A and B are shown apart, each in its own frame.
Chain A
Amino acid sequence: MSQFLEYIKMAFANIRANKGRSFLTMLGIIIGISSVIMVISLGNGAKNVITESMAGIGAGQIAMYSSDDTGSYQITSDDIDAIREQVDGIKGVLAQDSASGSMKTSKGEFTVSGIGTMPDVQYFDKTGIERGRYFNEREYLSGQPVAVISEEDAIRLFGSTNVVGMDLDITFYDSTITFTIIGVQKPQDSSMMSFVYEDSPVQVTFPITVFEQIYGTQVDSFYMVYMLAEEDADTYRITSEVSNLMERRHQCKGEDIYQFENFSDYMSIVNTVVNMVTVFVSLVAAISLVVGGIGVMNIMLVSVTERTREIGIRKALGAKTGSILVQFLSESAIITLIGGLIGIVCGIGGAYLISGIVGIVNPSLNFAPAISIPAIVTASLFSCGIGIFFGIYPAKKAAKMSPIEALRRM
């Protein structure tokens, strides 16, 4: 062991004696490792942002839909009540229906996307209400035309966010209903997920029972309902309990009419995609590592040729094949390890730099890179491994030299 340290010391001494060349040799490794670290950090950072903003919107959400298109297995309001009462761990259930309409204010004429829904919508809205409130059970049951709009839309419609209590005259299919605004939603946290265009319809949320005034009949059956699980509830248990309940209520046991989509399924798909992109780009970056390794091998070969005499002297003085081999191998391993460490620092720096530039160019895409410790450890080991792998050939060449041959050469 102490002998091994001696060879490492020799290797260090030689790297120090050839600083400029050692650095140039490292450059390939530095570029390779830093680009891998950079890609992984940025990829993880982006993944975190996507995950967070999607989780903010939909974590715990389960969608249930009827896969029967004859209409006889639709989900009814009674089903919704039954789910709410009989399945544990559900925070809210809702169904919704929408209609397009139009309205006029002093700011102009707008198209409206009217969304009729249920009081539980307040639980589904993760960003929350800026002013006022969502409609309550009583307003829902009595079909009161009360509306919640977004802050952006409030500004478009009235030039102000202080609009609670104001009226909206919205025309749906020739019948005009006067809604009273009771709430203004906060703007979404992440602008990655919300896009408001100049002429996109104004979104108005109101009790679904209001549709009775428009259609003349109650909207009572749905193809799809959304459930929101309590934070610590097991969405898979809820899914199977709801499935059983629905199959019992509609006498269709085992027919798989009611299908479920869990939000975490979407999340894992998104994560898989981001991971695949990250891995792919990392692999591309890793090619430069291989190129760097070949650079190390070339320089080490040159170094062996240049130091033939030194090798001869060492052998004459009693160095064994193994000693020379270890000395040259440690040299290339140390060069790539140092290169790797510099690369890690540059990679982290580069990741912050790029995310900073992205943040300046497009503030809505602002995100922090996520530095992954396993990636750093792997990169260090990998760079060291490259040094050893690409160092083997030159080191063997050096170790095999015959001392007289080596000494004879000037």
Chain B
Amino acid sequence: MDALVDVRDMKKIYNPGENEVHALDGVSLQITRGEFVAIIGQSGSGKSTLMNMLGCLDVPTSGEYYLDGRDVSGLGDDELSTIRNEEIGFIFQGFNLIPNLTALENVELPLIYRKVPAAKRHELAVESLKKVGLENRMDHKPAEMSGGQQQRVAIARALAAKPPVILADEPTGNLDSKSSIEIMRILKELHEDGRTVILITHDNGIAESAKRIIRIMDGKIEADYINQNVQEYGGAKKA
């Protein structure tokens, strides 16, 4: 079984020397292509640090990280940029859309950095926005959209470049429950389409919608189990 994400004994130490903080203290985990994994932990547990490492936004102090078979733990800034661009689709808690740009332009952004020609870029971006049901909001700026719509634009942006990994960091954290249900439904669909989705959250209810749950505490993996009872998020509220 070839692991898409393969982390071995990863450590991250902030402030080496005095006041050392072991944000990650020997984490090892493998995620296979097509999995839907929730990484759950309280704030301060090290889940954000793990998310930065998995997303190639930061490099570990020690340990190895193979992403899609490639060792990325020792790469430089520009190489990491390329990896992020090609391998990872980010969905952030705060949406992180660029306010000056329209929905379409925001979705095109990773494609620009991937040097996709303009016509192809437009096509991919439109396709991606259709997938999240925003084909009639393409020319709207983020400020002209609701939080849920903004997060859908962010999902479209994460999908546009067709990266193997979708990394969602508290994607529903800033949303009302109705929008949250919508976003979780889209993530589930992505998983059903065969994408690898990694969901980082502190919310058990959200985590329950994933097939595998990794619980992290004090920089260590506390539990890693298959969720036998996958719940449709918000399903309970509907009932």
Q: Which residues of A line the B interface, CB within 8 A?
A: 2-3, 6, 13-14, 17, 309-310, 312-323, 402-404, 407, 410
Contacts and interface: CB of A to CB of B under 8 A. Distances in A.
A321 B113 CA distance: 11
17 contacts: A3-B112, A6-B112, A13-B100, A14-B100, A17-B100, A313-B97, A313-B109, A314-B109, A316-B55, A316-B57, A317-B85, A317-B90, A317-B110, A318-B82, A318-B84, A318-B85, A319-B113
Contacts of B113: 314, 317-320, 323
Nearest to A2: B117
B92 interface: yes
B157 interface: yes
Given A13-B100, A13-B105, A314-B113, 20 more contacts: A3-B112, A6-B112, A13-B101, A17-B100, A313-B109, A316-B90, A317-B90, A317-B110, A318-B82, A318-B113, A318-B114, A319-B113, A320-B81, A320-B82, A320-B113, A321-B77, A322-B78, A407-B57, A407-B92, A410-B94
Given A404-B52, A404-B57, A313 B81 contact: no
B218 interface: no
Interface string B41-83: 0000000000010010110000000000000000001100110
A2 B113 CA distance: 12
Contacts of A402: 58, 77
Contacts, number: 65
Interface string B85-121: 1100010101011111100010001101111011000
B190 to A, nearest CB: 18
Contacts of A321: 77-78, 81
Q: From A2, A6, A17, A316, name the one whose CB has the most chain B CB atoms within 10 angstroms.
A: A316
Interface in B155-196: 157
Interface of A is mostly: helix
Contacts of A14: 100
B176 to A, nearest CB: 20
Nearest to B158: A317
A320 B96 contact: no
Interface string B192-206: 000000000000000
B115 A407 contact: no
B157 A317 contact: yes
Interface of B: 52, 55, 57-58, 77-78, 81-82, 84-86, 90, 92, 94, 96-101, 105, 109-110, 112-115, 117-118, 157
B57 A403 contact: yes
Given A313-B96, A317-B109, A404 B115 contact: no
Query: 4 tightest A-B contacts by CB?
Result: A318-B85, A318-B113, A17-B100, A317-B110
A237 to B, nearest CB: 67
A384 B175 CA distance: 45
Contacts of A404: 52, 57-58
B105 to A, nearest CB: 8
Contacts of B57: 316, 403-404, 407
Nearest to A399: B77
A318 B81 contact: yes
Contacts of B98: 310, 313-314
A376 B118 CA distance: 35
A402 B78 CA distance: 11
B115 A3 contact: yes
A310 B101 CA distance: 11
Nearest to B83: A318
A410 B96 CA distance: 10
Contact of B96 (A6, A316, A319, A323): A316
Q: From A313, A319, A404, name the one whose CB has the most chain B CB atoms within 10 angstroms.
A: A313
B58 to A, nearest CB: 5
Given A2-B117, A313-B98, A320 B78 contact: yes
